[in-house]
Structure 1
């Protein structure tokens, strides 16, 4: 759909006579997005659909380890999409597809679908050994269910909570043995044993991590209470957690990528490269990881649609395995090509750098998963 208006003879921005498709004075395009639907679409998707085909050239070079980063750092920039723009596009696209590809059915994450039955109040209100045990079981049940359905890397906060409940129960049992309630106060005992709803996180069981400042412990206590209230919703619609997690990943990457560039700067202090050059390497590295992850997700979706085809599952499984194995190999070759050091030195640095960054990413994943629980 194009406008019938004639092609302008002068730049609409600075009135300089035009000699082509761009003004040689200010650089503005002669094509107006408000006069042509095609140019309006091109304006929106310029990085992908511009006539110079930079997106295809960029992706082609990105698939070759280190080729794109080395070319960009050598000054060959006009042929390729800028690294930050490429990373943003690929990360958003990848984790949008992840939200479509990863599905969790109700009942497979947390089976806690109803509010726990009424139990005697917090441990301080329990006056008999049986009441302490009743409270302990009521508090541990949802925690253990959550732990059993979570990946191993995400169980640490739940393990801490379980250990704390066990410790409080044991302490209360000791207190009751050392100082049993007076037998002459049946009314008080009866009142203390009145069933009430246990609400860990309402202030009776605050988070208290010794090495954190007070405001951090108070924030964590509030997050824990929000998570507790969200558990029934997650049980009914676990996909909410999946969507919240993948929706937050691109934002987290904007912190992790500059951090990875800092690690590159530290490991290559003698390379003479500036921090922004290391940032380019970090952006292209993560852009490739997004492409690889996107390929894995698409293959998984394809496999789900080809279950009736003999041998399709094996082929797709092999392809996914090869992609997973290629990812660290790609990064190693890229690091060798960009920084030009020997294979031995590069491998040692790659191993140490990879271990440090994997530790950071694992911690960030745990924090992101917990934060997602509190924000659905």
Structure 2
């Protein structure tokens, strides 16, 4: 009985003769996506289980081995781990959903038109009494109402109106804040990578190599922040004194691990002396914190205006 000749397969895209599952001409996989529901479900479960295995192989070094994942990735060890961008996007979505649920709802007192008018009346009376005694006092922002210097007069008026409207339901602004926060973080990522590129300009690394560090660092920051908020919420819900103390100590340990981790990440990844690492870490952190605080203030203003 003669053996059957192997089946010749061709690429569905460029019709090149295949030597495997992928076309060596255009790179397309020899795979059909038109199949029954059972095949789709089976493939989905297989992909999910594979991703889940890579997830745990990624999270453990991400939490405990600073800079390890970034260094492995740039050296070509990529298959065992979740890609940095996918890891960050997954972390960002889950983290901000949990922030919105875990952070306590606080009562926000915003100035109304009546309170502002009453305050101005009292301020005017005090100013008149001071003027009668020959004392002049410059007006402060608190006395003249909430005015944001960077906004125009029209936007300041809209801001005051929004504050008055949100007095009854500040949750609208909070929800808007958490809907915009992931986008703000995503915009800060390339800026952080740019800072690393500038301060480590002599490391002869490409910008994308610094971007890998930024993605892993931000993923770590978000995950540790979720853990800290979760521990703080748990401490407020527990009534046993020794358990509360234990949880608070653990939460403080988690909070202290964050800056130490980022410092060790730069030390391990860039392999420079401790003096240079400490100086560059301080410069990077200072510049990035300034950018982050500015972005946070702008985000709060936009959350109120767009709520």
Shift, 1:33, TM fit = 7.8
Q: How does 1:59-208 map to 2 (within 5 A)?
A: 59-63=59-63, 64-105=65-106, 108-110=107-109, 112=111, 115-116=113-114, 134=121, 161-162=141-142, 165=144
Flag the structure with higher helix content.
2
- Could you tell me which residue of structure 2 aligns to residue 245 of structure 1? 177
Partners of 1:161 and 1:88 lie apart in 2 by 40
In structure 2, runs of 5+ residues without a counterpart are 1-8, 126-138
Distance 1:364 1:28, change over 3 A: farther
Distance 1:363 1:53, change over 3 A: same
The answer on whether the counterparts of 1:11 and 1:23 sit within 8 Å (CA) in structure 2 is no
- Could you tell me which residue of structure 2 aligns to residue 171 of structure 1? none
- Could you tell me which residue of structure 1 aligns to residue 287 of structure 2? 356
Partners of 1:270 and 1:232 lie apart in 2 by 53
Partners of 1:75 and 1:118 lie apart in 2 by 62
The one of 266, 283, 303 equivalent to 2:215 is 283
Cα RMSD for the two superposed structures: 3.5
Q: TM-score with structure 1 length normalisation?
A: 0.64
Distance 1:224 1:54, change over 3 A: same
The one of 135, 142, 156 equivalent to 1:224 is 156
The answer on whether the counterparts of 1:32 and 1:39 sit within 8 Å (CA) in structure 2 is no
Aligned: 1:369 with 2:305: no
The answer on whether the counterparts of 1:33 and 1:40 sit within 8 Å (CA) in structure 2 is no
Shift, 1:243, TM fit = 2.0
The answer on whether the counterparts of 2:11 and 2:17 sit within 8 Å (CA) in structure 1 is no
The answer on whether the counterparts of 1:16 and 1:23 sit within 8 Å (CA) in structure 2 is no
Partners of 1:359 and 1:77 lie apart in 2 by 33
In structure 1, runs of 5+ residues without a counterpart are 1-9, 121-131, 139-158, 167-199, 202-206, 210-216
- Counterpart secondary structure, 1:103: coil
The answer on whether the counterparts of 1:227 and 1:374 sit within 8 Å (CA) in structure 2 is yes
- Could you tell me which residue of structure 2 aligns to residue 269 of structure 1? 201
Q: Deviations over 1:73-103 (max 9, x none)?
A: 1111122222111111111211110000113
Partners of 1:234 and 1:41 lie apart in 2 by 44
The answer on whether the counterparts of 1:104 and 1:238 sit within 8 Å (CA) in structure 2 is no
